[in-house]
Structure 1
């Protein structure tokens, strides 16, 4: 006997019309194991059977339609495999052909010429005339008008299921059987009454019934809106609770003063005026670090927005308060670059800055480890080498992770364990994250955005050129080199890729050499196959200006800083995603000179590629590009940025449902602010529902 409390956990084979063999297929083909899984197998659309169209209104734009008319003629044509029944339905505007290939004998007996029928099906055309193959057909009775008051659900299925009599229609019948067994007690309300009232949401039970079998389009819309809201609200309430718990309970070291190093650097050593965005973020960091709770902040800054200076000021704040700081970068090149930038900014200041990477020599490594424990090293910059067990700090107070999505959650966690009280955490990314995605994926973090460029920086001019304009592009690079500038030429992959037939880096390198012969021009080449030493040497030659052109794959995508480089040519630009194109473009425009990005493509472009190129040439804003990228590609696997798998959304769409997401976030934050433990009578049902889901959340905390 099935009790109402556990009906949704019942195995699918127990449902009338399923049985063991069909159940095996439903499990393998659609992942439907229980009654609950079937309930959540939502129709992907509904066919509106509430309207009757005139036959003359059937055009190429109509996919499915219902018509009504007199059956004027029928005949069976052909023999054996080619046998078919053809009938003609006529209304006062025209004629439509109806065709049956299967069951023609008994259908022919059933149909009566001269009677009025209601017919429904997918509209096709033959020789310009409308037709329906295997229509649904019903005799119009004298009691009704022949029109069903119904939106018929259409369910996804597979060829294997269809072959076993489980097409979309049959799945609909199974759902009908299931809904006949379910009562409101099986789908208890999980949202607070105030949210239901203010949000004008239908009950949970109604929503599940109406999303499958609505009586009208209004009912369908209400059901979909309610269930989308529930998905997004549950995600937001969990994130808000995690954030609230951290703010209330996590213990953090206190930076209670802004000391001599911070003030001296700010007043005497800063080479430029900070932007408003940089000042705002530094203030947010100062408030966090003085609160007594652990800071856990994501700093998102567009390429070139000055995140390194903000990171340095945060580290000086730690040192002024008697703590050490560390900065972890995903590659040796990026770590060395941070070291050089920070050493340049701190010259003549009494701050011990060291670099620890996989290639640090044993003697130097030993010295660094000793000096770290003794407190002689104030700032340690490095790669994964920092999180090794042997690396111990005297008093780590701040950990900064650059391009944090390159590190796994477990790797980051090892860094936080380097101190008795977990250090404050600042994770930085130059990958713009759309606001809707940030709200969903990073809602448990405090979140800072830097969207201003430092003064003196000019916007990069981005142009699109086809391959047949290559000579002109190369001439333009020669003109820039004449004025003392440098250029990047980027290829999408290297020669070991046998799957894709793009121009390889090696061919590209030879082509570039033909345009720029030695000794008049010197070229560096960097790619993933080179040893770290060769790669570093070639990179350094470009950084120091010994070479004019850097030919590379996307290894230079993040962090490489050569202010003298003013041209970025991206070969086969149609092969890159929007965010990658934006990251590559961000390697130029880092000095005061006017910079250019040239997107080279073949003449034949897909619509998607054309759209990406158009976006890139129309804006320099990483945030705008990220929003458009999300709209083009969808959220997919949200990183990368969070390494937590795809968003668990069955219905909601982060692009289309931005308004619902905003509302869900506002309700969630208001509830958690006033009742952080969800103990009030009104919030208890929400609390119990979240407890029932415990362990099913994919979100992982940063610390």
Structure 2
């Protein structure tokens, strides 16, 4: 049968298999299947030479049997076959139960493909009762191994039953593709389905013209897709990768361009400056002068607020550069014009902190309806998931009646029952904590066909390639200048294996508290989950995942039982009841707590002027940008800030190099670049998710800057004149095949 790339898989593979592909690897259409790319290849006659995988990881290996022993089982009757094999880089063992038929096939010298869950015993990798098949060998050809069977093992069952026989001719090729697979969907199942799809699809229509391909030195799309699955040479693989990398960049940029241009011609709230309104009242009471950077950014935002078109803008800036004040002044302009604003925060601690900060800055301007309200005034309302029923009802009522000019909340704001009287501006803080779909949920709650403006903020500086991809649908404003009085934070790495450094660290903490200052001690995990933290750390260490970590619960106990216990010490983490979290944070803000032991709930937004010192425990467990964010919590009141990165990692390790980079620089933009290199881009691209796994296989935000920029220019040439892509059907199919139909549809919707 013939098929098109936008056809559902069910028509090609049958409904049952199509459901498996959708469930296991997120592939729904023929186009998605042929763009489900091998993650490596095994050359004919060679082994897989895969790097050492983690325990619990599902792997597919090509290996050669070195030894096969039939043994009696100790705990029950029956035999087991223990096969020792090598994949070219390491030896491992494979165990089968009641394996008489298997023993006849897996003899010394046989080359096999095996797939299963990795375990370790005495530091030796092992697979138990995996799926397997015999492969043809270059030395002897297909006939040398006879008729191979694939055996599918049903859990721990003592028997196995042969399933669909493999056509060994498929594997008698120069390169055997190995696909990302699962327990229920083997790499050979995927390859067979891909071959079926390639046979059924006529030449894939090329979204690029001959001139566009020639200008970039790219091969045709159809040739690239066939070569990536059925390569004859290494050069074919390289040419296919180059073309498919550009395809992914183009699909992503086209999708983002469609969002970027979707608001063209649509109407947003028109909000000009209102004399003697809330905006002027706040400016008049500020005890400092706005920085030049703040003035510039406010001008950029307010120009769009008055344009009559919906704004979609990213405000990025250094830690402490004054983004919250910029956002507040813009929100007050909206309120002066009769609109409401919603401020979405990722955690209850941050939402509560925003509520405290805004109400403190506004004073009587935030107490409309109260005796001490100033004129003009509005109300600032907080809505979180853990609030009691009466509080939620009151907040919902203030939002729907328009009593509250600013409604601050967590994901609770996204619930269907939350409605607004006249929403005009949505502010999303710490954008990277939310997916694209979440940030648009509130924006859909418009009135009279007016599309609310949207301002998303992040204190994590964004490298250029990330700005062009994850935030490619937004205009960008940047704050680099710190307000007057903010001083650079001094950062020191403290190796735990150097007792003198460790001792001095806690002496400094004691000195700071004695001098009347406050201190954060931040840990990477809570440790109150019922499992001894030490036991969990030992398990991680046995699995080769590093040194034991110190939890917040352990650290709190250690500090309170030691010399520092004479000070006022409290514990804060995300699993505490909401009222306890609020009480602890309020007490710390008031200066009633000297040392706050916490998790990363204090990472963003928390502003305590008297906090001068931060100790980050197991600092190697945090990303570079996250460390920069955390240390930005200190030194905010004009006093010098100090940050200590406490670590057990060794000198010269990659983790220590990252910590030294943080120690050496306070430039968040440079650290963001280092962070992107360290963690690659998988989780960055994940911000584009809308319920699907990422289908981007080749595009690198680190290595493909020029490719992304080129694709962005091409997308900007095409989309404004054909936003629906009706005249560019091959390009529309490319977007759906690369991103998936639902994500492509979501990114394109207004």
Q: Which residues of 2 match residues 123-202 of structure 1 at below 5 A?
A: 136=138, 152-156=174-178, 181=199, 185-202=202-219
Structure 2: state its 5+ residue gaps. 50-66, 71-106, 112-135, 142-171, 366-375, 538-548
**3-state DSSP of counterpart to 2:277:** helix
Q: Per the alignment, do residues 574 and 222 of structure 1 end up closer, same or farther by CA in structure 2, a change over 3 Å counting?
A: same
**3-state DSSP of counterpart to 2:493:** strand
Matched, 1:669 2:716: yes
**C-alpha root-mean-square deviation of aligned residues, in Å?**
4.9
| Alpha-carbon distance in 1 for matches of 2:456, 2:748 | 12
Normalising by structure 1, report the TM-score.
0.72
| Alpha-carbon distance in 1 for matches of 2:627, 2:339 | 39
The C-alpha deviation readout for 1:342-395, integer Å capped at 9, x for no partner, is: 344335763323333458788888877777677654434445565677766553
**3-state DSSP of counterpart to 2:744:** coil
- Partner residue of 1:233? 250
Q: Which residues of 2 match residues 683-698 of structure 1 at below 5 A?
A: 683=728, 685-687=730-732, 694-695=741-742, 697=744
- Partner residue of 1:413? 441
| Alpha-carbon distance in 1 for matches of 2:430, 2:609 | 20
Q: Give how far 1:340 is off.
A: 3.6
- Partner residue of 1:120? none
Q: Per the alignment, do residues 541 and 151 of structure 1 end up closer, same or farther by CA in structure 2, a change over 3 Å counting?
A: same
The C-alpha deviation readout for 1:541-566, integer Å capped at 9, x for no partner, is: 22122232112222222221112111
Matched, 1:206 2:223: yes
**3-state DSSP of counterpart to 2:646:** strand
| Alpha-carbon distance in 1 for matches of 2:511, 2:401 | 54
Matched, 1:500 2:536: yes
Q: Per the alignment, do residues 573 and 202 of structure 1 end up closer, same or farther by CA in structure 2, a change over 3 Å counting?
A: same
Size of the aligned set, in residue pairs, is: 610
Whether the 8 Å CA contact 2:509–2:613 is kept in 1: the answer is yes
Whether the 8 Å CA contact 1:324–1:398 is kept in 2: the answer is yes
Q: Pick the structure with greater CA Rg.
A: 1
Whether the 8 Å CA contact 1:46–1:152 is kept in 2: the answer is no
Q: Which moved more, 1:375-384 or 1:522-531?
A: 375-384
- Partner residue of 1:426? 455
Q: Per the alignment, do residues 407 and 207 of structure 1 end up closer, same or farther by CA in structure 2, a change over 3 Å counting?
A: closer
- Partner residue of 1:116? none
The C-alpha deviation readout for 1:417-443, integer Å capped at 9, x for no partner, is: 264434322222334444323322232
Normalising by structure 2, report the TM-score.
0.68
Q: Give how far 1:36 is off.
A: 6.2
Q: Per the alignment, do residues 419 and 514 of structure 1 end up closer, same or farther by CA in structure 2, a change over 3 Å counting?
A: same
Q: Give how far 1:40 is off.
A: 4.0
- Partner residue of 2:509? 477
Structure 1: state its 5+ residue gaps. 50-59, 61-77, 82-99, 105-133, 140-149
**3-state DSSP of counterpart to 2:250:** helix
Equivalent residue for 1:353, pick from 366, 379, 382 = 379
Q: Which residues of 2 match residues 390-409 of structure 1 at below 5 A?
A: 393-404=420-431, 406=433, 409=437
- Partner residue of 1:293? 309
Q: Which moved more, 1:373-382 or 1:305-314?
A: 373-382
| Alpha-carbon distance in 2 for matches of 1:494, 1:79 | 46
Whether the 8 Å CA contact 1:12–1:34 is kept in 2: the answer is no
**3-state DSSP of counterpart to 2:319:** coil
| Alpha-carbon distance in 2 for matches of 1:305, 1:297 | 17
| Alpha-carbon distance in 1 for matches of 2:37, 2:399 | 58
Q: Per the alignment, do residues 6 and 305 of structure 1 end up closer, same or farther by CA in structure 2, a change over 3 Å counting?
A: closer
| Alpha-carbon distance in 2 for matches of 1:11, 1:34 | 8
Whether the 8 Å CA contact 2:39–2:179 is kept in 1: the answer is no
| Alpha-carbon distance in 2 for matches of 1:177, 1:361 | 57
The C-alpha deviation readout for 1:623-668, integer Å capped at 9, x for no partner, is: 3333333322233344874553443212222222222112111211
**3-state DSSP of counterpart to 2:425:** strand
| Alpha-carbon distance in 1 for matches of 2:379, 2:15 | 67
Equivalent residue for 1:272, pick from 284, 288, 292 = 288
- Partner residue of 2:326? 310
Whether the 8 Å CA contact 1:405–1:643 is kept in 2: the answer is no
Whether the 8 Å CA contact 1:192–1:686 is kept in 2: the answer is no
Whether the 8 Å CA contact 2:588–2:596 is kept in 1: the answer is yes
- Partner residue of 2:588? 542
The C-alpha deviation readout for 1:579-613, integer Å capped at 9, x for no partner, is: 43233222113222221111112255894432432
Q: Give how far 1:572 is off.
A: 1.8
Q: Which has the higher contact order (CA 8 A, sep 6+)?
A: 2
Q: Per the alignment, do residues 439 and 44 of structure 1 end up closer, same or farther by CA in structure 2, a change over 3 Å counting?
A: same
